[in-house]
Structure 1
């Protein structure tokens, strides 16, 4: 299942932080990057753990490499496509 692109070939992605500090650092960096649009923040006010971004697939790949190659402790930030939530898998859901 692929995400429908938004304007200018961008799609929504989620960046999740294992710790509040990396997210704060990432958000400060995102403000200076014209390729990144922060759409929403998830988590306590002032301490988000997840950011919803609108970015191109190229930018998502670049961020994934940066997160993977970051100095230890690694894997503090992860990125994934933002997919719609559903209660049931369409194939497994029967009549209610």
Structure 2
């Protein structure tokens, strides 16, 4: 998967740690466990042509989380890609 630019991004994390930089959007959600106004972060990922073919053939999405205790998370489908800028365009905007 390639990092995507997410609409309404509020910050880019990880660049100072040597990673590519991950644009994310900070949100507040109503969670049935943690209650109203629970902070959340959303990122966007785009499958390559080969990954998209595998997904269309029934492959599962795998999520790798570094560390030993995974945080609560959700996996969703975002808007169609033509509505969003590329990662390079997003990073150029600052």
Higher helix proportion (structure 1 or 2): 1
* Higher RCO (CA-CA < 8 Å; seq separation 6+): 1
Q: TM-score, normalised by structure 1?
A: 0.30
Q: TM-score, normalised by structure 2?
A: 0.30
